[in-house]
Every structure is written in structure tokens, then in C-alpha cells.
Amino acid sequence: MPDLISTSKLSKSFGGLVAVNRVDFQVPEGQVAGVIGPNGSGKTTLFNLLSGYFRPTAGSVRFLGKEVTDQPPYARVGMGMARTFQLVSVFNSLSVWENLVLSSFHRRQQGSRLGSFFFKPAREASTLADCRQALETVRLQDKAGVFTSELSYGDKRMLEIAIALSLQPKLLLLDEPLAGLSDHEIGEVLQLLHEVKDNFTLVIIEHKISKITDLVQRLSVMNEGSLICEGEPGAVLCDPNVRECYWGRETDAC
Amino acid sequence: MHNIAVHQQSFPVQPAQRFLVFRDMAIIAAAFLALSLFTPLYWLTDFAVMCILVLSFDLLYGYMGHLSFGHMLYFGAGAYMASLALLHLAPNPFLAILAGLVCGAALSAVVGFVVVRTSGAAFALVNLAFNQIGYWLALSGLQDYTHGEDGLPSSVEALWFLDFRQAPVAFGFMLVCLLLVFWLLKTLTASPYGIVVRSIKENEDRVKFLGYNTFRYKWLTFVISSTLAAFAGSLYALVKGFVAPSDVNPLENTRIIFSVLIGGAGNLYGALVGSVAFEMISNLLATTIARWEMILGLMLLALVFWFRRGITGYAYQLYLDRSYERLVKFAQGMGLSLRRQK
């Protein structure tokens, strides 16, 4: 399988702090890859570099065989990349269904449909059908008319994932999708990810390693900005370096 | 994956009814006609022009969250260009309006390319700076064309029945223009484009990650808003037959901002109610109290402390609370207890 996304000697510094240090990271098409590492190890910065939120200090990013290092985020989304954020990021001042209008319109608007973009109501049958379909995948269709600010944190997380899914991406980057959720909600998110993971390539940052070991086929571990270990989840979690940086020296052997 | 019951449930959001905008336009027209029973027509003509200006500002500030202290630049540019067209090209009102629109669009397209790169306080102040430059140009820089402090008189020839010297004709024409602008903005803000604009207000970066070039949309919104301000300016020039540097004065921006705040930002009705209320208050107070601006200051304080969302926002909240109370009473009558859902 060719690499869907790959980086070469990717680095990002903030002043004197090197957040990501010469990282070579590849994800083959169709794979579910996990990125783990202690707090401040550069996982989210890596995501921000992959998705175009930051420009790297050095190195390059290739997506779908093309160099995208200098491409802005919206261009990468146009190529088929979608992401979620560590702190759930939905539009609180819009109602739930309105949150899905832009992503579903972006997907449909491949032709020149400027007239309907500017002059047709967003609340129109075909757009609403798209929003409904997207909401049904996360079982939020009953709350479509509610203001997003009234949703619980877990529902907002589900909505954010629904927005990303409705872009029908080739690559989905999930930044700590389980953070701040109850056990029940974690179960729901994981079930959803198991259902949809075959439709695209998935990269997932997560702290709750035990929850995602079933999901991911490959695990990458970051520490202090560098990629220190990569491979099958079982093997990676037994690696002495990984165990030391993650759980400290005093841990039982694998 | 889903059971059939889910699909059978009705979706809580139904398609928009497109005739509603025409109902609202009828209400606006009726309100203006009702006002004309006890308000001089030339006041209402001014109000309609002001309403267009404030509506255009509401798109930029209320919907996109970009507060500008330089909106008068485009109003003034439209007014001056319309007057110049009347003087030098032909005394035709439609040509003057076209000239004003083109001038506003061209000017804001260039200026927008710079100002849209900023946001927050910087956006407000960069716009103020451009407005100040425009004021200086009108006052002395382009004196040969604008006649500086003397101002620029112009006259429109009567076209068929369209004679702006007759108050009812001028009023009717401005009212029709206002309704057109309302229709345009109502349509735009209800479209997916409107959702882009409102989303930019809340979190611009997030919109980029949905695949939208936000710079392009901010620029476009700035140009639409400014061009409509220039439209208001050219209408103003037609009615008054005179333009002076005070019509580009950056201080006049406070009138626009005040009107939006009084009415409630981010919904077009607020802009309408606010500008009519503001113009009424300033017209009435100015004739009775020497330092009437002081009252405005007190009103601004009241707005900031108690009525953040303006008249329309407050009325809507009142409506929500009342209808909720009624619902609770009704439910209690039926032997149910209702709690507000989280």
C-alpha cells in the first residue's frame, strides 16, 4: 500500500522550544494508526503540521503523493483531509443542523453551484437531508434543531465527528476523541469508529491507550518532539523505552 | 446500522418557507406607512436611507463579528460619486446610483484586501484610518472635485414620474430601495454563505478546516457591506442634492454603531428598529435639549449593562420567557410538571 500521508524530517520550533523534531511519519492507505505519548510530547503539534494549521520550521509533508507543506488548511480539506480538535470545536452559536451545512455543502459543491450557495436558503430539503443523514450516523438527529451550546460535551464530540465524517475524507485525523467523555460515551465513540473505519485512513491521538489497542493496527510513540518507537501495538507497548517514558522506570516487565 | 424506527421519526427541522421574506417586507412597508401618519415624510425618507446604511453595517458587524469604525467612508464615497456623476455625466438618478455603487465596490475591493487581514480592535482602527484619509481627501486633498468645505451641490432631473423634489416620490423610492436591500440581505444571510459568515464570527480557523478559504469570504462580505453603504450614500445624494465632507466624517460612524446596538446586532430587524429609533430620538431631542448627545451616552450605558442584545433581542427573550411560562401553566393544568431541558 502506498503512503497516504508522509512526513520527512518534519520540525517545528516555537522560539527555543523544539515541539516536533525531525519526524518521519508515514501512514499507508487504509490503515488505522495511533499516536501516543506523554503530555507535551508534540502529538498535537504534529497534527497541526499535518493539517496545515502550522507551517513547519523545516521538513515536508506529502499527502496523496503531492507535496502539501505550503498548502493552507482549506486546500488540504479540498484534497480529502479532515480533522477534529483536542478541545471539542463546534459552532456553539449555530443550531446543530447548521453545523453540518458547511461540510456537506463543501462536499457537494464540486461543480459551480454559486447561485444556490448564495441565494438558496440553507434550510432547504436537499441540504437538510444531508444534515439528517450525517446526524443519524451519530444518533443526534432528534437534537437537530437545538442550539449547539445546549448540547452535552459528549454530544458535541459526536457532532464534531459527524462534521468530519460528512466531509467524506480520505484521511481523518482525530485528536484525543475520547478526552473528557464518560465510559458510556467512550463506548459510543469507539463503536462508531469501528463502524466507519474502513471508509478512510484514520490517524488517532489518544491518551487512553487501552481503549484503542483493538482499533489501531499500528502505534507510534512520541516523546519530547521525536518519534521514539513505531510498530504493532502489542510490540510497541512492550518496548522498554516506551514503558520508561510513559510509565516511568518502576513498571513490571511485559 | 440503524433501526427503521429512527427513519420513521420526523426530523425536527423543516425546510424554510420562502414566502416569509415577502411577509417581512410587507410588514416593513406597513410600518413605514403607519409612521408617515404622524411623522414628516422627509424624515422618513432619511430614515429609510439610514436603515440601508445600518443594514449594510449589520452584515459586517452583527453577522461576521467585524466591528468597523470606517463605514462612513463608503457612504461618503457613494454620495460624492453620485453627485459627481449628476454634475459631470448626466442628471439621471439611475446613472448616479450606478456610479455610487461602482465606486463603493471598487474602493472597498482595494481597501478590503488590506483591512480584512486584521480582526478585532485592529480591524476597527485600520478602517478608522482609511475613513480619516477619505475625510481628508474630501476636505482638501481632492478639493478641485469635492469643493472642500463648501460641499458639492447637484440636481437630478425628473424622470417620468420620478421627481425627487416631491416628498412622496422620494419617500416611495427610498422605501422600495430599502425593501430591495432587506430582501438581498435576508436571502444572503439565510443561505449557506450566511452560515459561513456567522461561523467566521465564532471561530474562523475552524471554518478553514471545513474547506473554506475564509479570507475570500471575509473580503467578499466586506465588499458587499461597503457597496450597500455606498448605495445608501448615493440615495442620500439624490434626496439632499448636496454632499459635504461631514458626510464622510469618521465621527458619524457612532450613529451607525449606536443604531445597531440599540436595535440588536446580528438580525436585520434589529438594524431596522435601531436606526428608526435612533433617528427618531436624535431628531426629537435635538430640537428640545441643547446637549442631547448626553442622553445618548446614558442610553449606551443602559444598553451595555442591561440590554446587551438591543430592543429586538430583549423582545425576543421576553417572548420566549412568556411562551415558556404559558407552556408550564398549561402543563400544570394537565397534571404534568415541566422542567427546562438542559
* ipTM for the whole complex: 0.92
Out of A93, A95, A143, name the one closest to residue B202 (CB).
A93
B77 vs B70: CA distance, rounded Å: 12
Q: How many CA atoms lie within 13 A of A195 on its CB side?
A: 13
pLDDT at A40: 87
- pLDDT tops 80 at residue A1: no
pLDDT at site B339: 54
In A, minimum Cα distance to B187 occurs at: A119
Of A99, A199, A210, the C-alpha closest to A155 is A99
Q: What is the pLDDT of residue A251?
A: 57
Of B196, B198, B342, the CB nearest to A93: B198
What are the pLDDT digits (tens) for A68-78? 999 999 999 99
User: How does pLDDT run across B193-225, given as a tens digit for each residue?
Assistant: 999 999 999 999 999 999 999 999 999 999 999
The dihedral sign for the CA sequence B201, B204, B208, B209? negative
Residue A123: is its pLDDT beyond 50? yes
Q: Determine the average pLDDT of the residues in A156-178.
A: 94
- Cβ proximity of A132 and A166 under 8 Å: no
Q: Do A128 and B193 make contact, defined as CB atoms within 8 angstroms?
A: no
Q: Which CATH architecture has domain A3-92+163-247?
A: 3-Layer(aba) Sandwich (3.40)
Note the pLDDT of residue A74. 94
> Looking at residue B223, what is its pLDDT?
98
pLDDT at B4: 44
A&B contacts, CB < 8 Å: 123
Domain boundaries, chain A: 3-92+163-247
Shortest distance between the Cα of B57 and any Cα of chain A, in A, equals 19
Show residues of chain A in contact with B218, CB under 8 Å.
none
Mean of per-residue pLDDT scores for chain A? 89
Give residue limits of the domains in chain B: 19-250
Q: Which positions in chain A touch B6 (Cβ < 8 Å)?
A: 136, 139, 141
Find chain A residues with C-beta within 8 A of B208's C-beta. 72-74, 77
Q: Are A79 and A66 in contact (CB under 8 A)?
A: yes
- Give just the sign of the alpha carbon dihedral A105, A111, A117, A122: negative
Closest partner residue to B199 among A94, A116, A132, by Cβ? A94
Q: Supply the pLDDT for residue A252.
A: 60
| A56/A18 Cα distance (integer angstroms) | 11
Other Cβ atoms closer than 10 A to A15: 5
State the Cα–Cα distance between residues A217 and A210, nearest whole angstrom.
13
The whole-number pLDDT of residue B1 equals 43
Q: Which residue of B has its CA nearest to A97?
A: B13
Q: Show the cell assigned to B170.
A: 422620494
pLDDT value of position A254: 64
Distance between CA atoms of A107 and A81, rounded to whole angstroms? Answer: 12
A97's CB contacts (< 8 A; 6+ apart) are A128, A131, A132, A135, A144, A145, B13
CA pair distance B35, B279, nearest whole angstrom: 13
Q: Give chain B's residues under pLDDT 50.
A: 1-8, 340-342
pLDDT at B5: 45
Q: Residue A102 is nearest to which of B13, B188, B210, comparing CB atoms? A: B210
Q: Which three cell numbers stand for residue B22?
A: 415577502
Classify A85 as helix, strand or coil: coil
For residue B17, the model assigns a pLDDT of 86
Q: How confident is the model at residue A116 (pLDDT cuts 50, 70, 90)?
A: confident
Report whether pLDDT(A124) > 90: no
Q: According to the model, what pLDDT value does residue B338 have?
A: 57
Q: Please tell me the predicted confidence (pLDDT) of residue A27.
A: 94
Across the interface, whether the CB atoms of B210 and A150 are under 8 A apart is answered: no
pLDDT in tens, A26-63: 999 999 999 998 888 899 999 999 999 999 999 999 99
Nearest-CA residue of chain B relative to A88? Answer: B206
Q: How far apart are CA B149 and CA B142, in angstroms?
A: 11
Beta strands in chain A (DSSP E): 3-14, 17-23, 26-28, 32-36, 58-63, 66-67, 81-83, 171-175, 201-205, 218-223, 226-231
Which residues lie closer than 8 Å to A72 by C-beta, 6 or more apart? Answer: A52, B208, B213
Contacts of B14 in chain A (CB under 8 A): 123, 128
Q: Do A121 and B16 touch (CB under 8 A)?
A: yes
Considering the entire predicted model, what is its pTM?
0.91
Picking from A78, A91, A128, the nearest residue to B203 by CB comes out as A91
- Best B1, B191, B198, B221 residue to mutate vs chain A (most A CBs within 10 Å): B191
Give the chain A residue nearest B7 (alpha carbons). A136
- The reported pLDDT for the residue numbered B342 is 38
Mean pLDDT of the region A108-124? 75
pLDDT at position B321 is 82
A156 contacts on B by Cβ (under 8 Å):
none
